[in-house]
A and B are shown apart, each in its own frame.
Chain A
């Protein structure tokens, strides 16, 4: 049983559709992340939220819109996607800004949403 839950597990959508990916963490963490995993490429960080504020946005196209209503939930709203956006989207959580001298919380990942854009 993972502490980070993602739904749906699979999603197929057309380029004109609007859909949302959902992530929920039960670990008491204060930071949440969206990563994109494409074949034969390193995981790409898309967004970071800490204490419900977006602290990082890695030049992600505006057709991806994140929302973090509270520290336990994270959404990724999708609209007018392109076929090249097909990928595995991974959500993760961690404890953010732990002092350097102490143990730093690693990321805990969900099972991902496999997105196919047709």
Chain B
């Protein structure tokens, strides 16, 4: 069974600084997708960034980038130039290549301070 582990229940970062959220996963599949979702107080889960396992290049989306280490089964999220609006719960998620089911981690609550 696939599992996703987020070992940091809470993280804090100062505005304009950089923070890295950790995620590891366990799978026997060779083709899969990884995602980071953000859940602000509005409760809507918003896709932040995605990575296809067959791509070696790390995905980037503006201030968000990932460090994808396939052999280590690690998928961390780096947020650069943190903004107050980045404060939210962040969930790492995994999906096998040919399936629709997402497996989520328990989340990391990110605080952004002035």
Residues of A near B101 (CB, < 8 A) are: 45, 48, 56
Question: Across the two chains, which residue of chain A brings its CB closest to B102?
Answer: A107
Whether B44 contacts A42 by the Cβ 8 Å rule is: no
- A-B residue pair count with CB separations less than 8 angstroms: 57
For B, the interface residue count at a CB cutoff of 8 angstroms equals 25
Residues of A near B98 (CB, < 8 A) are: 97, 100
Q: Is A62 an interface residue (CB 8 A)?
A: no
CB-CB under 8 A for A109 and B100, given A42-B4, A100-B31, A104-B33: no
Whether A112 contacts B44 by the Cβ 8 Å rule is: yes
Q: Which of B45, B47, B52, B97 has the most CB of A within 10 A?
A: B45
Q: Is A43 an interface residue (CB 8 A)?
A: yes
Chain A residues engaging chain B, CB cutoff 8 angstroms:
2, 31, 33, 40-43, 45, 48, 50, 55-56, 88, 90, 92, 94, 96-97, 100, 103-104, 106-112, 114
Pairs A–B under 8 Å by Cβ, sample size 29 = A33-B100, A42-B4, A42-B106, A43-B91, A43-B102, A43-B104, A48-B100, A50-B100, A55-B100, A90-B45, A96-B100, A97-B98, A97-B100, A100-B31, A100-B98, A104-B97, A106-B33, A106-B35, A106-B50, A107-B45, A107-B47, A109-B44, A109-B45, A109-B46, A111-B42, A111-B43, A111-B44, A112-B43, A114-B43
